[in-house]
Structure 1
Amino acid sequence: MGLKGITVNTAAEAEAHIYAEDDAAIYQSILGMDAVADIGQQCKATVISNNKIRVSDGVVVVGGHVARIPYGEYEDCEIANGQTGKNRNDLIVARFETTGSGGVDKMTCKVYQGTAGSTAADPSITQDNIYQNGKVREFPLYRVRIEGLNIVAVDQLFTVLPSMATMQEDMTPSTETLKSGVRLQRMGKLRILNLVDTSSAADGTIVNLAVGDRPANYVFAPAIVRGQTYPDFFISVTPASMGTGKVGLFRGANVQMQYDGYICSQIAWLVD
């Protein structure tokens, strides 16, 4: 067929030629992934009983095809009984299936029951490439962990796709002065710390970062300290897992340094 016009008008008597897969291809090219959209309760899961998980309102995209649980409604997912002394993982998926191009499509929530045993494992699902004429694609929403007769946890497996408004807000840069000579720039997940003519305490601490500004791993950058002859000063930023968010001045083999004069550096990292 070659090039197919989508946003074009055709004569009233012309045969219908725009199908769901045409729109899905557009959405997939824009979104690039299966996702739950940032609207409503974002398909939040609630444990109703050991045999029922309730999925609240939201919008889900599978292979570019869109479905929703309307506001005020929900989808109840039935979970089979557990077995005493055994563990099991069940998966709740959003399932798209089609008979083919221009055919009949269906989108549903489905529960896949895992195999009970001493160690739980996720059951298999189908993830065809719908754009390439696949027939079934399943997007995992939740893992239901069952130990014995009880549901002990429900793990969210999807990424919430931020709206354009949220992305614009996240990408708008802001700057905060943490103390004299220390300025922190924020832009989305990026953090840039500028140190100009600042000082460190006896344990090397320059500042402690707020929880939302701490990196996942240690971050280092060289530092200049006026009047010092040591060539190996550096700045270290402590990761979130260590609890303090300390930005400190060090030298050599992690020797903490106190300095009341001119410390200069710039260091950048990403937050989770």
Structure 2
Amino acid sequence: MKIVSGRTGSPHVTSQQFRQMLEGIIGQGSYIITSGENLKPELSSNNLLKIRSGMMAHHGCISCVDIGTYDEVTLTNGSQGMKRIDLIVNRYTRNAETEVENCSWKVIQGKPVASNPAVPAYTSGNLQNGDLVDECPAFEVHYDGINVTEVKSLLSVTDGLSGLSRKLTNTNTNLAKANTVLENRKPIFIDSTSTGSVTFDTTNFLKSGITYAFVVAVNSNLNSGTYAQEITCKLNDVIIGKNGNYYTLTSIFSGKCSKGDRIHITSYKNGGNWSGWGTRCIFIPLS
């Protein structure tokens, strides 16, 4: 173990160590860092591409086009009646003897074909592992005949800490909305042990602006099988269901309602006494 961000009495921080730190912050891949014009490509002609100001990271190595300037990359003419894809890479090199490192643009010319051109191969290395050449694909230049039809940027633009903070804020906002939706989606259970009849006034427990599906379950029993009963369910005084002609019943009714509606359960029996009665209403939000 050795200290990096501290005084030792002599120069000791290496470019590799600095890149290690940046990889931990930005990532180990290849990205355009939000800066300047984000390395925007601009086609001046079929033979010249301008790359506007910006900065990029590749395996922790930072390179840039200075703000207020641009780089010019010379393109090779296309071929009449042929298609081609050229690759523009940010080429990292390190001199094995002097240890001098450098980054520059390089055009790798593809093979012209009649159709379905392929992207040319490049040197895929990793400068952090000591490779002397490490090329990062940045742009594809597509040709149809002698004309450039598309310049495609291959790298994503990082948002930076402010962008990350904004995304986190938006995520938290969306989570709060999702929690509200989930909260509103919870079913509501209302129970009653009233015997013979019961009224559920939804003003007391439903939320405004929401349509609910409801299910009413009534378990009712008479003390003797010689008698019979009938259970009726009404929504705002309109009958929505009946069940009966037996001394012990489980009655299920369903429908839709909203805050302010009233559900009435009434009963009729031709004799005897109630030996058991229980009612449960379940309200499920629909919208």
- How far off is 1:91 after superposition? 1.0
Q: How far does the alpha carbon of each residue in 1:51-83 deviate from its partner, in whole angstroms, 9 at most, with x for none?
A: 111100001112211111111111111110000
Q: Which residue type is aligned with residue 75 of structure 1?
A: D
What are the within-5 Å matches in structure 2 for residues 156-235 of structure 1? 156-173=153-170, 185-186=173-174, 192=178, 194=181, 196=184, 226-227=213-214
**Contact 1:145–1:153 (Cα < 8 Å) also in 2:** yes
Structure 1 or 2: more helix by fraction: 2
Q: How far does the alpha carbon of each residue in 1:139-174 deviate from its partner, in whole angstroms, 9 at most, with x for none?
A: 111111000000001111101111101100111147
Q: Which residue type is aligned with residue 153 of structure 2?
A: Q
**Contact 1:62–1:96 (Cα < 8 Å) also in 2:** no
Q: Which residue type is aligned with residue 186 of structure 1?
A: N
2:207 counterpart residue number: none
What are the within-5 Å matches in structure 2 for residues 22-101 of structure 1? 22-32=17-27, 33-100=29-96
Task: Verify: 1:21 aligned to 2:9, yes or no.
Answer: no
- Describe the SS at the equivalent of 2:69: coil
Q: 1: CA distance between counterparts of 2:76 and 2:214?
A: 71
Q: Percent same amino acid among aligned pairs?
A: 23
Q: 1: CA distance between counterparts of 2:171 and 2:113?
A: 51
Which structure 1 residue ranges, 5 or more long, are not aligned? 176-184, 198-223, 230-258, 267-272
- How far off is 1:102 after superposition? 7.6
Q: Which residue type is aligned with residue 113 of structure 1?
A: Q
- CA-atom RMSD in angstroms: 2.9
Q: Which residue type is aligned with residue 80 of structure 2?
A: T
Change over 3 Å in CA distance of 1:101–1:227 after alignment to 2: farther
Which structure 2 residue ranges, 5 or more long, are not aligned? 186-210, 217-255, 259-282
Change over 3 Å in CA distance of 1:9–1:88 after alignment to 2: same
2:220 counterpart residue number: none
- How far off is 1:132 after superposition? 1.6
Q: Which residue type is aligned with residue 20 of structure 2?
A: A
Change over 3 Å in CA distance of 1:153–1:28 after alignment to 2: same
Q: Given the two structures, how large is their TM-score scaled by the length of structure 1? A: 0.64
Q: How far does the alpha carbon of each residue in 1:82-135 deviate from its partner, in whole angstroms, 9 at most, with x for none?
A: 001100001111111113598110111111111111221111111212222222
- Describe the SS at the equivalent of 2:128: helix
**Contact 1:82–1:147 (Cα < 8 Å) also in 2:** yes
Q: Given the two structures, how large is their TM-score scaled by the length of structure 2? A: 0.61
Structure possessing the higher relative contact order (Cα contacts under 8 Å, 6 or more residues apart) = 2
Segments of 4+ in structure 1 off by > 6 A?
A: none
Q: How many residues align?
A: 195
Q: 1: CA distance between counterparts of 2:143 and 2:97?
A: 39
